[in-house]
């Protein structure tokens, strides 16, 4: 099976070089590969073009339905590997959508990229099979809180959160829209015993003004509760655009 990718322009896969904008690797130069499809539906998702296609009745605050043919592209693992290598970076970030939905194809892809340091950005509901897991250097796990609109029994799976909590490669990044969201993070941290230094709080927002406004009240909460704070560098640098 080929990989199913998002597009940054019609007919052009979203494979690009940039700097990581979020989490523990923020500022690091890397190549991004954005895959299509997701098993969750966050109402504030800033990459809804990876899943909110025409006929999908899951809610999104923008109410926009995307044409699948224009926003989804299938490529062989060999073609994707060639495009990644051509960009000349040593760090690879695989994002989505939910990339682990395409685990077998990803495992085959990473066999062709033995010298890459690999980050997977995941919502934390799925498991990487062994053939893929052995090639992953870092999991950026973003469990979805109640304000995402996802039911907890779909978004917060105890067996998966337990597994990630004990994996030294896993870092946790929570999207925060209002101060009360932090209470939910504290409860999850205490229940699953996430390593305190591995938990980031990141403001929800797709423009610099919103991010800065929320960071002003989020920073003191990080100090109070011992969390790290993540900015969204790519939004400040490039805006809410594909391929950045």
CA–CA–CA angle 71, 77, 78 (5° rounding):
120
How far apart, in whole angstroms, are the C-alpha atoms of residue 176 and residue 108?
A: 35
pTM as predicted: 0.97
What does the pLDDT look like over 127-141, one tens digit per residue?
999 999 999 999 999
Q: Report pLDDT for 20.
A: 98
DSSP category for residue 194 = -
What does the pLDDT look like over 91-144, one tens digit per residue?
999 999 999 999 999 999 999 999 999 999 999 999 999 999 999 999 999 999
User: What DSSP line would sit under 36-103, residue for residue?
Assistant: ---S---TT-TTGGGT-BTT--S--TT---B-HHHHEEEE-HHHHHHHHHHTT-SEEEEESS-GGGGH
Q: What is the CA radius of gyration of the chain?
A: 17
- Whether residue 164 is predicted with pLDDT greater than 90 in this model: the reply is yes
Partnered with residue 229 across adjacent β-strands are 201
206, 149 contact by CB (below 8 A): no
What is the CATH code of the structural domain delimited by 3-174? 3.20.20.70
How far apart, in whole angstroms, are the C-alpha atoms of residue 198 and residue 148?
A: 21
How far apart, in whole angstroms, are the C-alpha atoms of residue 185 and residue 8?
A: 33
34, 6 contact by CB (below 8 A): yes
What does the pLDDT look like over 187-225, one tens digit per residue?
999 999 999 999 999 999 999 999 999 999 999 999 999
What does the pLDDT look like over 47-75, one tens digit per residue?
999 999 999 999 999 999 999 999 999 99
What is the domain partition of the chain in residue ranges?
3-174
């Amino acid at each position: 099976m080929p990989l199913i990718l998002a597009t940054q322009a019609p007919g052009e896969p979203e494979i690009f070089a940039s700097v990581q904008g979020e989490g523990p690797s923020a500022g690091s130069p890397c190549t991004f590969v954005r895959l299509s499809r997701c098993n969750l539906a966050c109402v504030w998702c800033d990459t809804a073009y990876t899943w909110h296609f025409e006929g999908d009745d899951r809610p999104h605050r923008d109410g926009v339905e995307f044409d699948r043919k224009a926003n989804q592209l299938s490529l062989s693992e060999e073609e994707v590997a060639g495009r990644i290598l051509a960009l000349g970076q040593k760090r690879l970030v695989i994002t989505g959508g939910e990339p682990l939905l395409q685990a077998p194809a990803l495992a085959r892809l990473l066999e062709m990229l033995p010298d890459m340091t690999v980050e997977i950005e995941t919502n934390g509901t799925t498991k990487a099979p062994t053939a893929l897991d052995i090639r992953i250097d870092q999991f950026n796990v973003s469990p979805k809180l109640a304000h995402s609109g996802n039911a907890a029994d779909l978004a917060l799976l105890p067996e998966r959160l337990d597994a990630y909590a004990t994996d030294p490669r896993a870092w946790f990044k929570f999207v925060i829209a209002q101060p009360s969201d932090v209470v939910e993070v504290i409860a999850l941290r205490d229940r699953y015993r996430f390593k305190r230094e591995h938990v980031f709080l990141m403001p929800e927002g797709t423009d610099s003004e919103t991010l800065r406004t929320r960071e002003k009240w989020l920073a003191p909460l990080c100090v109070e509760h011992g969390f790290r704070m993540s900015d969204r560098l790519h939004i400040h640098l490039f805006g809410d655009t594909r391929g950045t």
